[in-house]
Amino acid sequence: MIIRYNYPLCEECNCNPDGVTEDFFALGGCDAVPEGSLCTCKENVEGRICHVCRPLFWNLQSWNPKGCEGKSLIKFFYFIALVKHMLVLARLRMSQTRNHWGPGAL
């Protein structure tokens, strides 16, 4: 769907309807944005026309008030970092145990 503004010139509004804030068009849309300004993007969306999810976010949808999903991905990376940390600690404890009893003691 192409949205036009600036009658009688009827210029094309390039702001992505899925990525702009809910009130963007209600407040005048492209007509209300000063020339050369960016569209008003949802929280997890970026780009001049609000068409790209911010880093670590995905799945731009019009029904999503933040634009893109992403929390579960951040939690996943946090979980991976925690597991790596636990493995490092386990290896450190194993090496300390071996050094305590001496070589060949086990």
Tell me the mean pLDDT per 10 residues along the chain, length 106: 56 82 80 71 92 91 93 71 86 75 56
Question: pTM for the whole thing?
Answer: 0.55
Distance (Å, rounded) from C-alpha 4 to C-alpha 62? 19
Sign of the torsion formed by the C-alpha atoms of 37, 26, 5 and 50:
positive
pLDDT at 25: 76
Distance (Å, rounded) from C-alpha 28 to C-alpha 14? 14
**99's tokens:** 């050094």
